[in-house]
């Protein structure tokens, strides 16, 4: 089994509604997103997926998050823009891209809101 991981960064503000502490106030993070994919077959070039293609796919999602107030965009105007919810949102959006097929699978999204705090989402048990 082959596995690839890339990382991208974006900056965005949010607040956690009804949080009993300072995170209920507007604040921002320099978010780091790690994308982990896997598959068993390499293409004719000896690649699972070209890093360029994977980065383009994730950057197509990041453009909708970078330098935004997350609470004002879908779906975060309805649900709290926690690291957990962001990881799930990014996973679901990325899974819709044509990179993924019967051989190339999305394993997980890990999102760091600081150098010490991260949340991950996958559909694996």
Domain locations in the chain? 2-121
Q: What is the pTM of this model?
A: 0.95
Residue 124 has pLDDT above 90, yes or no: no
123 is in an annotated binding site: no
Tokens matching residue 41: 């077959």
pLDDT score for 106? 97
Using one digit for the tens of pLDDT, what is the confidence trace for 68-122? 999 999 999 999 999 999 999 999 999 999 999 999 999 999 999 999 999 999 9
Give the CA angle between residues 84, 40, 38 to the nearest 5°: 15
* Token pair of 23 as six digits: 């995170």
3-state helix, strand, coil in the chain (%, to 5): 25, 35, 40
The residue assigned the tokens 């990382």 is 7
User: According to the annotation, is 114 in a ligand binding site?
Assistant: no
- CATH for 2-121, among 3.90.580.10, 3.30.479.10, 3.40.50.10860, 3.40.50.300? 3.30.479.10
Q: Which residue reads 């107030």 in tokens?
A: 69
Decide: 31 and 10 in contact? Cβ < 8 Å.
Answer: yes
Q: Residues 29-63: pLDDT tens digits?
A: 999 999 999 999 999 999 999 999 999 999 999 99
Would you say 14 is a known binding-site residue? Answer: yes
How confident is the model at residue 125, as a pLDDT? 55
Tell me the backbone φ, ψ of residue 14, rounded to 5 degrees. Answer: -165, 175
Q: Rounded distance, CA 69 to CA 14, Å?
A: 6
Active-site residues, by number, are 23, 67, 113
């Amino acid at each position: 089994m082959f596995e690839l991981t890339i990382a991208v960064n974006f900056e965005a503000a949010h607040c956690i509604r009804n949080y009993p502490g300072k995170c209920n106030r507007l604040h921002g993070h320099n978010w780091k997103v790690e994308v982990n994919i896997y598959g068993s077959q390499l293409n004719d070039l000896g690649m699972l997926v070209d890093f360029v293609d994977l980065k383009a796919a994730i950057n197509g999602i990041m453009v909708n998050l970078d330098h935004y107030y997350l609470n004002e965009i879908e779906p975060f105007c309805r649900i709290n823009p926690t690291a957990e919810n962001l990881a799930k949102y990014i996973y679901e959006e990325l899974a819709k891209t044509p990179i993924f097929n019967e051989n190339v699978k999305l394993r997980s999204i890990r999102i760091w809101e600081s150098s010490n705090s991260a949340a991950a989402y996958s559909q694996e048990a």
